[in-house]
Amino acid sequence: MSHSVSPLAPKTYPELPAVAGVRLATAEAGIRYKGRTDVLYAAFDEGTAVAGVFTRSRCPSAPVDWCRAQLPGGTARALVVNSGNANAFTGLKGRDAVRLTATIAAEAAGCRPEEVFLASTGVIGEPLDASKFRGVLAECAARAAPGPYRDAARAIMTTDTFPKVATRTVRLGDADVTINGIAKGAGMIAPDMATMLSFVFTDAPIAAPVLQDLLARGADTSFNCVTIDGDTSTSDTLLMFATGKAAAARIDRADDPRLAPFAAALDDLLVDLAQLVARDGEGARKFVTVTVEGAESDRSAHRIAMSIANSPLVKTAVAGEDANWGRVVMAVGKAGEPADRDRLAIWFGDVRVAVDGARDPAYDEAAASAAMERDDVAIRVDLGLGGGTARVWTCDLTKAYVEINGDYRS
Amino acid sequence: MSHSVSPLAPKTYPELPAVAGVRLATAEAGIRYKGRTDVLYAAFDEGTAVAGVFTRSRCPSAPVDWCRAQLPGGTARALVVNSGNANAFTGLKGRDAVRLTATIAAEAAGCRPEEVFLASTGVIGEPLDASKFRGVLAECAARAAPGPYRDAARAIMTTDTFPKVATRTVRLGDADVTINGIAKGAGMIAPDMATMLSFVFTDAPIAAPVLQDLLARGADTSFNCVTIDGDTSTSDTLLMFATGKAAAARIDRADDPRLAPFAAALDDLLVDLAQLVARDGEGARKFVTVTVEGAESDRSAHRIAMSIANSPLVKTAVAGEDANWGRVVMAVGKAGEPADRDRLAIWFGDVRVAVDGARDPAYDEAAASAAMERDDVAIRVDLGLGGGTARVWTCDLTKAYVEINGDYRS
């Protein structure tokens, strides 16, 4: 992929510390790309708990099926991720490829195949030649090291233009623990578990069912609030691994009061990663935050916010720096949720452009346009009906999106 | 609007005959555009029945509110349509503008304001200065004539690149009757009543409730099967006027057997107009027919077909002439409808590209690519579950769409 780096990319990247019990390696398996890494291998110490959230697509990829099947086991010893081929809609061959990959990784890691978690991203419908992992994963296992995480984030990229990493250190009971996360996104990003792939690693000693609860709730307010193009991938996967190596007492219950700061830090890290995904939306030139207030419920607010964030007309207006709030009205109207046209108010940035169902009497085109010229554009809607609120993130729709997706496969 | 004519425009336009009891005129009211007509005035003889189908937007335009309020009256004497300004989200001013327009038109037509039907299309949120219709409509009434319909279709265009007209002549009992239709579309076109504006005129003597029944059913299999960008307008309006001037016996019941050929001709005309709308989608270079078969129900098939037709990734693949059927799988999966990945089959044109949940063993990239190179692209999906079918129409998503919508307002 030769696309230039998104203008919304972070100016600096955080240095991610090691997470005790996690070792990483990347390699060039030649799945599809030449001259870049396309495999991430992670090894986990014994006793590592795992949690996962997956695409709601009715046509999930073979690796998603595999992970769902292994998740109830609750433990993980290895993770293998490849870019370039999604191993989705590959039929029986896809299932065989998943089993072979897990077997090769299990041999390399010295564990059972059922303790290996898998994810693939890239082209749909092409058979994945898993025999390419032979040798590669054993070699990865031999040189796996506590970092660097940025290389790991780079190996899982497809049309992403920058690697996505985030880290938090937080008190858990009587010890500090680390949470590291990486993600990839860019295209086929939509409401039901947004980013295609994200992996979170922590040394916190948290039991798998508790971890699952934290992760599912965290995904709802982060990745599930991002949309690039409204297209839900067959492969969306968020996995979290907790090695338990930190010097904190083990947490077995979701209502343990020591969890609160950890849960907050995890949520924050997931939001960070989710926003990075939106900032690297295919062809993105603007990062857009859509806030909806005054809805009948949070759920209703979320649907309206998504209707705005997914509207091609709103997104092209943002691309054109056009303060076209009429299209926001349209998107509110088409959401099918309770709305009273004559109570609607709309802001671009701090500029109120519409109120009481009509253009703001004090409307100032220059001020509204100035709000649209920023890299980060805020759209806020107050429905004036109730207390429901939601916030989602997206990017603009540019000619570059069409260009990238018009010739991705060829 | 200076966009060049869609390459999918018809090579020839039908000549529309006069409809007894209908007279038309167009004018330049200077609402927004310069040097082109922007008002359509139609006068109907006494006894003209009216039927209407409108946007399901929760934020409808003032003219839509007006038409909904007048529809139960069942009779129409005049229609006024303006382009350039949608009179949507204009608050109390919008309601005043609608009432003033109806009053001016009623004076011109010699009828009550409640017998005047209105539609506006163009920018949302700008107050419409209805005083501009003063003089203009009286002058239109003075010179209104039985045609030409193509001028009428031209006056209601916004970003449309060609006028949309269709005509049918059909036996109704013991006489031939005429059905003429015009439409405008291009942007903000989506599932719930697709085209922004369409008007159908007939001399058939059909009572208003029967007409309403015919029109609502016809809209479901025509305009409601078209999507350009998934964005539902605040202003979608389909109105039908039946003057009753044909020499056929009056029809008062929906189950009158004489109606069948008329209903079929009306459905056919509406499909024709709906397809013209898709062929003039903003920036369209390809006309796309999506057919879904084997779904659990027709409703489920329609939702899946719309999910495919609205997917930016499918639409950009069509623009790039890329036989990327993986994106069709994705769109089936995200529809949330019953689907079994391992029974799916997909065709581009006549070329089966996927079967039994994987690439077709006989897959031929060259043949699939050839199917994508045509102006008219057919995507067919068989779910293998039941007898539900649906067919919808859309166009590709091109850089020109982004260009048109990135600077429409400025």
In the block, residue with structure tokens 């009572």: B207
Q: Three-state secondary structure along chain B?
A: CCCCCCCCCCCCCCCCCCCCCEEEEEECCCCCCCCCCCEEEEEECCCCEEEEEECCCCCCCHHHHHHHHHHHHCECCEEEEEEEECCCCCHHHHHHHHHHHHHHHHHHHCCCHHHEEEEEEEECCCCCCHHHHCCHHHHHHHHCECCCHHHHHHHCCCCCCCCEEEEEEEEECCEEEEEEEEEECCCCCCCCCCCCEEEEEECCCECHHHHHHHHHHHHHCCHHHECCCCCCCCCCEEEEEECCCCCCCCECCCCCCCHHHHHHHHHHHHHHHHHHHHHCCCCCCCEEEEEEEEECCHHHHHHHHHHHHHCHHHHHHHHCCCCCHHHHHHHHHHCCCCCCHHHCEEEECCEEEEECCEECCCCCHHHHHHHHCCCEEEEEEECCCCCEEEEEEEECCCHHHHHHHHCCCC
Query: Quick check: B407 and A337 CB within 8 A?
Result: no
Q: Are strands A197-202 and A237-242 parallel, antiparallel or unpaired?
A: parallel
Q: Are B119 and B50 in contact (CB under 8 A)?
A: no
Neighboring chain A residues of B337 at a CB cutoff of 8 Å? 58
Residue A3: pLDDT above 90? no
Mean pLDDT score of chain A? 90
C-alpha to C-alpha distance for B185 and B233, rounded to whole angstroms: 10
Beta-bridged to residue B120, according to DSSP, are B82
Provide CATH 3.10.20.340 ranges for chain A: 287-406
Which residue of the set B55, B158, B159, B195 is catalytic? B195
Q: Which among A59, A320, A410 has CB closest to B406?
A: A320
CA distance B244 to chain A (A): 36
Query: Quick check: B188 and A330 CB within 8 A?
Result: yes
**Contact residues for A95 (Cβ-Cβ < 8 A; gap 6+):** A62, A65
CA distance A366 to chain B (A): 12
Q: Is the ipTM beyond the 0.90 threshold?
A: no
Residue A145: pLDDT above 90? yes
The upper half-sphere exposure of residue A223, i.e. CA atoms within 13 Å in the direction of its Cβ, equals: 35
**Contact residues for A43 (Cβ-Cβ < 8 A; gap 6+):** A22, A23, A24, A77, A78, A109, A141, A144
Q: Which among A317, A356, A402 has CB closest to B398?
A: A402
Query: Quick check: B58 and A337 CB within 8 A?
Result: yes
C-alpha to C-alpha distance for A173 and A286, rounded to whole angstroms: 40
Query: Quick check: B405 and A320 CB within 8 A?
Result: yes
Give φ, ψ of B37 to 5 degrees. Answer: -70, 145
> What's the mean pLDDT in A107-126?
93
Highest mean pLDDT of the ranges A156-165, A187-196, B110-119: B110-119
DSSP reduced 3-state for A100: helix
Give the model's pLDDT for residue B169. 95
**A310, A314, A320, A325: CA torsion to nearest 10:** -160
In the block, residue with structure tokens 């350039």: B84
For B209-259, how does the pLDDT look when each residue is reduced to its tens digit (9 = 90+)?
999 999 999 988 888 887 766 666 778 889 999 999 999 999 999 999 999
Q: Are A281 and A7 in contact (CB under 8 A)?
A: no
Residue A280: pLDDT above 70? yes
C-alpha to C-alpha distance for B392 and B295, rounded to whole angstroms: 15
Neighboring chain B residues of A332 at a CB cutoff of 8 Å? 58-59
Q: Which residue on chain A is closest to B328 by alpha carbon? A: A124
> What's the mean pLDDT in A218-245?
83
Q: Which residue on chain A is closest to B324 by alpha carbon? A: A409
Query: Quick check: A188 and B313 CB within 8 A?
Result: yes
Query: Quick check: A324 and B409 CB within 8 A?
Result: yes
* Backbone conformation region of residue B18, classed left if phi is above 0, alpha if psi is from -120 to 50, else beta: beta
Give the model's pLDDT for residue A228. 67
C-alpha to C-alpha distance for A147 and B164, rounded to whole angstroms: 62
> What's the mean pLDDT in A305-321?
91
Torsion sign, CA atoms B276, A306, B333, B298: negative
Give the model's pLDDT for residue B1. 39
Q: Are strands B22-27 and B345-348 parallel, antiparallel or unpaired?
A: unpaired
DSSP reduced 3-state for A313: helix
In the block, residue with structure tokens 């099947």: A69
Q: Which residue on chain A is closest to B400 by alpha carbon? A: A399
Query: Quick check: A317 and B406 CB within 8 A?
Result: yes
Q: Which among A60, A316, A326 has CB closest to B124?
A: A326
Query: Quick check: A406 and B316 CB within 8 A?
Result: yes
Residue A333: pLDDT above 60? yes
Give the model's pLDDT for residue A19. 96
C-alpha to C-alpha distance for B309 and B288, rounded to whole angstroms: 8
CATH superfamily for domain A22-279? L-amino peptidase D-ALA esterase/amidase (3.60.70.12)
Q: What tokens does A180 get? A: 């590291």
Provide CATH 3.60.70.12 ranges for chain B: 22-279
CA distance A75 to chain B (A): 28
DSSP reduced 3-state for A394: strand
Residue A63: pLDDT above 70? yes
Which of B405, B407, B408, B410 has the most A C-beta neighbours within 10 Å, making it the best mutation to test the interface with A? B405
Q: Which among A187, A319, A359 has CB closest to B406?
A: A319
Q: Which among B125, B327, B406 has CB closest to A329?
A: B125
For A363-386, how does the pLDDT look when each residue is reduced to its tens digit (9 = 90+)?
998 999 999 999 999 999 999 999
Q: Which residue on chain B is closest to A190 by alpha carbon? A: B334
Residue A44: pLDDT above 60? yes
Query: Per CATH, which fold does A287-406 belong to?
Result: Ubiquitin-like (UB roll) (3.10.20)
Give φ, ψ of B251 to 5 degrees. Answer: -110, 120
C-alpha to C-alpha distance for A301 and A294, rounded to whole angstroms: 8
Residue A1: pLDDT above 60? no
Burial class (CB in 10 A: 0-12, 13-18, 19+), A343: middle
- Residue B202 annotated among the catalytic residues of the structure: no
The parts of chain B modelled with pLDDT lower than 50 are 1-2, 189-195, 408-410
The identity of residue B221, as a single letter, is: T
Lowest-confidence segment of A56-60, A136-140, B24-28 by average pLDDT: A56-60
DSSP code of residue A408: S
Residue pairs between chains A and B whose CB atoms are closer than 8 Å: 233
In the block, residue with structure tokens 């090894």: A43
Residue B89: closest CA among A348, A333, A388: A333
| pTM greater than 0.90 | no
Can you say how many angstroms the Cα of residue B408 is from the centroid of all Cα atoms in its chain? 21
Residue A410: pLDDT above 50? no
Beta-bridged to residue A392, according to DSSP, are A290
C-alpha to C-alpha distance for B209 and B71, rounded to whole angstroms: 10
Residue A8: pLDDT above 60? yes
Query: Quick check: B354 and A89 CB within 8 A?
Result: yes
Give the model's pLDDT for residue A113. 98
Beta-bridged to residue B26, according to DSSP, are B40
Q: Are B234 and A330 in contact (CB under 8 A)?
A: yes
Q: Are B329 and A88 in contact (CB under 8 A)?
A: yes
Residue A2: pLDDT above 70? no
CA distance A94 to chain B (A): 9
Q: Which residue on chain B is closest to A356 by alpha carbon? A: B91
